[in-house]
Amino acid sequence: MYTTAREAYRMKQVAISARGFSTHPPLFAPIFAQTTLPKPRLDYTKLLSDPPSTLENAQLRAFPLSGNHLSDLSSLRDTQRELLQKLNVTRARQKEVGNSIRKSKGPEAEKAKKQAKELKSLIKDYEISLSTTESSLLDLALSLPNFSHPSTPIGPEENARTLETFGPTLIPSDPARDHVAFAQYFSLLDTSASAKTTGSSWPYLRGSLALLEQALISYALSIATKHGFVPVIPPDVVKTDIAWRCGFQPRDQATNAAASQTYHLEPTSNSAPSLCLAGTSEIPLAGMFADMIIHEENLPQRVVGVGRAFRAEAGARGADTRGLYRVHQFTKIELFVVSSEEESESVMEEMRGVQKEIVQGLGLSVRVLDMPTEELGASAHRKYDMEAWMPGRGKWGEISSTSNCTDYQSRRLSITYRPQPTSPTHAIDPPSGPLPFAHTLNGTAAAIPRLLVALIENGLKYEKTGEGDAAQVVYKGLELPKALQRFYVGSDEIGEKGRKGLIHWV
């Protein structure tokens, strides 16, 4: 309590100096200001309980941090606690002085009123300082990635651990199995038109290829819904804030420049929210559960989204940018689950089982990888990739992934759950205290272009005519898995402009 004007003045100076504490310009505050969601609630105790481990975790995930990042975070945390304590004490004193004013008369009352005015000013300073401190604290903490699973391999992509392989024997690498050559031979893929309308890597799918995309969508949905996933068609445009909270950071942390993978929509007015195109329907699906309290008996929540994914793919070059392997817009079927903390690891294995069922039905040769730390991004605690063999490309290509994001997204999106009562008393009078944060998981049920590449390069049939430099490849048709046949609405004949081939269902 402040008994003298000198002490009150000293505490006011503490508040003012705390207000000026900032390690760098805030990157997140302008984005969060555009949302109605609560501010992210991060676990500062966990982040600061073992600073060397927190720093090592970020470095192993290729997240560059300044040498004083965690010391600044710790200092801000201490400042926050100090300000909260001072603020609570000052408010209590303000209440006492208010009671004194009502009971006092004459000079004593005037003295109390003067003190009340000083306390009110001091509280305002504390509140401003606390807001600034918490903004800087949150900004530093949000730039840290999730903690990696203890079993996650360390290092770059080539350090991935193979968990299993399944499917038929690999077809040898063969340039004649190039999906681009096959699709253009039968006029199924038009890149010249897209060069005029949009640019490179925005292909038109025609005829049988367009119908095959629709068949794959329906096929993947049929398996997902069989396993209890509720179909959702989410918006493909999301608030930048939601993308941030999911761990898809539209701005580069080091330069504060536009990130290389996100398409932004230009606002129509100064008051319009900042919007971007979703890089995956995981983002709007996660946003669907934002600011929600779910009863534990209703967990896990399983949804499967059908959406378009938009990737700027800045810096991509070489053979991967040909054809369908790496494009700016594609259809993606996404599995998304909200679970309790205890269930998330088992749910991840269940999702992997659903994905395996989908690709096994397509007859592809697949390997499952436990991805290393540098491939986890910001949000994943653990990540599995499935890669299919693509003989035309002569290498494996990612067709799906599964990530357990633990509470990384839910703390940012405010997704909590109410635990089931452990006793009749708790059912009537639930225990007080903060609710636990849910865990979120996402997985690809079908990344359509990658599946098209794998199906074409493994299933095409061709003959070679001539010899040497005069040799030519004549494509005859395509073998496709019988599991897709009931979802395919076209005829078994493919091709236009005089070139015809046949689909054989095997």
**Per-residue b/e over 72-91, b at no fewer than 16 CB within 10 Å?**
bbbbbbebbebbeebbeebe
pLDDT of residue 423: 58
Give, in degrees to the nearest 5, the angle at Cα 306 between 297 and 167.
90
294 labelled binding-site residue: no
**Is the distance from CB of 262 to CB of 298 less than 8 angstroms?**
no
Report which residue type is found at 268. T
Q: How many residues does the chain have?
A: 506
Question: Alpha-carbon distance 376 to 408, whole Å?
Answer: 13
293 labelled binding-site residue: no
Question: Alpha-carbon distance 311 to 318, whole Å?
Answer: 17
Q: Is the pLDDT of residue 67 over 90?
A: no
Across the range 23-43, mean pLDDT stands at 65
Element holding 238 (H helix, E strand): strand 237-239
What ranges do the domains of the chain cover?
5-142, 157-173+205-252+273-419+437-465+476-493
Question: Which pLDDT tens digit goes with each residue over 258-315?
Answer: 446 789 999 888 888 899 999 999 999 999 999 999 999 999 999 999 999 999 875 4
Instruction: Find tokens 């990888």 and name the residue.
Output: 369
401 labelled binding-site residue: yes
501: helix, strand or coil: strand
Question: Alpha-carbon distance 480 to 487, whole Å?
Answer: 12
346 labelled binding-site residue: no
- Both tokens of 238, joined, read 């999301």
Q: Is the pLDDT of residue 21 over 60?
A: no
pLDDT of residue 30: 47
Question: Which pLDDT tens digit goes with each residue over 448-485?
Answer: 999 999 999 999 999 998 887 778 999 999 999 999 99
CATH class belonging to 157-173+205-252+273-419+437-465+476-493: alpha beta
467 labelled binding-site residue: no
80 labelled binding-site residue: no
DSSP annotation string for 280-322: STHHHHHHHTTTEEEEGGGPPEEEEEEEEEE---TT--SGGGS
Q: Is residue 430 very low, low, confident or very high in pLDDT (cuts 50, 70, 90)?
A: low
313 labelled binding-site residue: yes
Question: Which pLDDT tens digit goes with each residue over 191-222?
Answer: 889 889 998 889 999 999 999 999 999 999 99
298 labelled binding-site residue: no
Residues sharing a CB contact under 8 Å with residue 154, sequence separation 6 or more, in sequence order: 60, 372, 373
Across the range 436-452, mean pLDDT stands at 98
373 labelled binding-site residue: no
328 labelled binding-site residue: yes
Model pTM score: 0.88
Is 390 exposed, middle or buried (CB count within 10 Å of its CB: 0-12, 13-18, 19+)? Answer: buried
152 labelled binding-site residue: no
375 labelled binding-site residue: no
**Is the distance from CB of 377 to CB of 361 less than 8 angstroms?**
no
Cα dihedral: 210, 310, 415, 27 (round 10): 180
Across the range 304-332, mean pLDDT stands at 84
Q: Is residue 249 very low, low, confident or very high in pLDDT (cuts 50, 70, 90)?
A: low
Q: Is residue 252 very low, low, confident or very high in pLDDT (cuts 50, 70, 90)?
A: very low
